[in-house]
Amino acid sequence: MRVLAAMSGGVDSSVAAALALAQGHEVVGVTLKLWDNPREGGCCSVAEIEDARRVAQQLGIDHWVFGFTDEFEARVVTPYAEAHAAGLTPNPCIECNRHLKFGKLLRRARQLGFDAVATGHHARLVASGDGARIHGIRLLRGADRAKDQSYVLYVLGQEQLGRCLFPVGELTKAEVRAKARALGLRTAEKPDSQDVCFIATTGGRESFLGGRIPLHPGRVVDARGDEVGRVDAVELVTVGQRRGLGVAGGGVRQFALAVDAATSTVTVGPLTGLMTDRVALTGLSWVAAAVTGPVEAQTSAHGTPVPARLEGATVHFDRPQRRVAPGQSVVLYRGDEVLGGGIA
């Protein structure tokens, strides 16, 4: 096959390209330039692109750079800021996968005559069928549970998965680095990247959002509506947050139970106030067919899946769980298999 290997400049994508090449595919490396504002962001730097280019050179494959900055701004960065302005807690990595890495890149690959796109995601793909014919593609957790990235891939459907390769999904992170060392790749010891690639370490989320949306000081109130503290920016508060709420210490620990951006109000209460037995989802997305009934629900990228039941668009937990911050994804599994998910 002709394979376009997405190379971020990190060790996982470097080894993914190497493994695709070792499997006999005709491979070309590509780095996506998604972000070009050095004041605000930390990804897509000259150093990252150079690392990817040098690894491609070591592997003896061509290396291209695709500029997707306009679509990244429109589909990921602007919605991220708008969500915070509305008091939500978005997941930009999922939207990047949905629209850029497995949206625009897959379309570009097809236009250029490539059969598949390979990435460094820690997830596995298994073809299901009767041996004579493939009936579908199952999306499974990566072999390294600590590095599993299947949570951020739940938005992919059969058409997309049928044109994807996840070569490192069967490996642990230690095995990935060992292969990189054995191949002499310059990224072998490179640290993993930060979660939100376009937010710089210096200044962080507050600095980034402050340059894009108004940040409003807010009142912190208890269940009776009495003011018990203040926050510098209500747009930076997440449901479930405990620190930085301006509530005096001593007594029962207080958590953010609700964020009302319209009135610049954060409601706090004890942990018991966060517990719920259900969560309603919007924008349901399925890897294959829609499901109902018993599932396991995972409410964060590295969270522990818990037994639940899906009825319509509502997940009913077998036992009460901490409330999911509005804007975050809930991903549904059965064992290691990703079924789909939606947004709380």
Within this chain, do residues 10 and 112 fall inside the same structural domain, yes or no? Answer: yes
Tokens representing 211? 């340059």
Q: pLDDT (tens digit, 9 = 90+) per residue, 201-219? A: 777 889 899 999 999 999 9
User: Does 198 reside within a domain?
Assistant: no
Specify whether 99 is located in the same domain as 247.
no
The candidate with the shortest Cα–Cα distance to 219, out of 210, 211, 228, is: 228
pLDDT for 70-99, tens place per residue? 999 999 999 999 999 999 999 999 999 999
Tallying the residues shown for the chain, one arrives at 344
Do residues 281 and 298 both lie within one domain? yes
Q: Give the total number of structural domains in the chain.
A: 3
At residue 36 the predicted structure's pLDDT band, cuts being 50, 70 and 90, is confident
Q: Which range scores top for mean pLDDT: 24-38, 141-155, 244-258?
A: 141-155
Q: Are residues 48 and 166 in the same domain?
A: yes
Question: Strands, DSSP E only, in 207-292?
Answer: 218-221, 227-231, 255-260, 265-269, 275-280, 282-286
Residue 289 lies in a domain: yes
Instruction: Give Cα separations from 257 to 226, 239, 267 (angstroms).
Output: 14, 5, 5
Q: Residue 314: name the closest of 282, 281, 340 by CA.
A: 281
**189 within a domain of the structure (yes/no):** no
Residue 130 lies in a domain: yes
Question: In this structure, what CATH number is given to the domain that contains residue 232?
Answer: 2.30.30.280
- Which CATH number is 26's domain given? 3.40.50.620
Q: Confidence class of residue 250 from pLDDT cuts 50, 70 and 90?
A: low
Q: Which of 229, 249, 269 delimits the end of a domain? A: 269
Give the pLDDT band (50/70/90) at residue 7: very high
Q: Which helix (H) or strand (E) holds 238?
A: none
Q: With a cut of 90, say whether residue 118 has pLDDT above it.
A: yes
Of the residues 44, 93, 96, 164, only one is catalytic, namely 96
The confidence band for 258, taking pLDDT boundaries of 50, 70 and 90, is very high
Instruction: Give the strands of the sheet with 164-165, arranged side by side.
Output: 63-67, 26-33, 2-6, 116-118, 164-165
265 and 280 belong to one structural domain = no
For the stretch 264-309, pLDDT in tens is: 999 999 999 999 999 999 999 999 999 999 999 999 999 999 999 9
255 and 283 both lie in a single domain: no
CATH number at residue 334: 2.40.30.10
Looking at the predicted structure, is the pLDDT value of residue 200 above 90? no
Q: Is the dihedral of CA 289, 295, 298, 303 positive or negative?
A: negative
Same domain, 22 and 161: yes
In a domain, 188, yes or no: no
Rg (CA), the chain: 21
pLDDT-above-70 percentage for the chain: 94
Same domain, 282 and 257: no
> Is residue 133 over pLDDT 80?
no
pLDDT score of 256 more than 80: yes
| From 43, 44, 93, 197, the catalytic residue | 197
pLDDT of residue 130: 56
Based on the fold, state whether residues 48 and 165 are members of the same structural domain: yes
pLDDT in tens, 230-241: 999 999 999 999
Inside any domain, residue 58: yes
Whether residues 222 and 91 fall in one domain: no
Does residue 121 belong to any structural domain of this protein?
yes
- Inside any domain, residue 106: yes
pLDDT at 201: 72
Range of the domain at 90: 2-183
Mark which of 143, 164, 183 sits at the end of a domain: 183
Cα 298 to Cα 344: distance, rounded to the nearest angstrom: 12
Q: 339, 142 in Cβ contact below 8 A?
A: no
User: Which of 162, 183, 204 represents a domain boundary (last residue)?
Assistant: 183
Looking at the fold, whether 249 and 177 belong to one and the same domain comes out as no
Whether 164 sits among the annotated catalytic residues: the reply is no
**Is the alpha carbon torsion for 269, 196, 74, 281 positive or negative?**
negative
Residues 25 and 165 in one domain: yes
pLDDT at 111 exceeding the cut of 80: yes
